[in-house]
Amino acid sequence: DVKVTQSSRYLVKRTGEKVFLECVQDMDHENMFWYRQDPGLGLRLIYFSYDVKMKEKGDIPEGYSVSREKKERFSLILESASTNQTSMYLCASSLVGIYYGYTFGSGTRLTVV
């Protein structure tokens, strides 16, 4: 069964910590994405990547960075976690061309205290 795996389901971190969220897909997809989901705001795109070592900013990249050293792995980095980054983080992947839709991971619920 093909899937997108996010390393942690729940995470609690302290303000100011550097946080790594990991995402791995086993479908040989070219595209990978990081979204965050907040009540009343829906899914907002943070960063995406078309290829290894390639990255593009989404709508809300501030306070985040990403790394894609291998095709199957896309990491989201919170450089200095803040309480307003408490959220559900969703990773997704897709083939080239949006028509195939995305496959999402189960999400990481991050709480910054």
Choices 11-19, 32-40, 69-77, 78-86 (CB under 8 A): range interacting with another protein: 32-40
Tokens of 26: 């086993």
- Across the strands, what pairs with 104? 92
| Residue placing its CB nearer to another protein in the complex, 35 or 64 | 35
- Is 35 a binding residue for another protein by CB under 8 A? The answer is yes
Q: Which of 1, 53, 83, 98 binds another protein (CB under 8 A)?
A: 98
Tokens of 32: 């990978």
Distance, in Å, from the CA atom of 88 to the CA atom of 81, rounded to the nearest integer, reads: 14
- Is 42 a binding residue for another protein by CB under 8 A? The answer is yes
Residue with tokens 């960075």: 65
Separation in Å, CA 39 to CA 63, 70, 87, 94 = 20, 32, 9, 25
- Name the minimum Å distance from CB 41 to another protein: 6
Binding footprint of another protein on the chain (CB under 8 A): 4, 9, 33, 35, 40-45, 48, 56, 58, 90, 92, 96-99, 101-107, 109
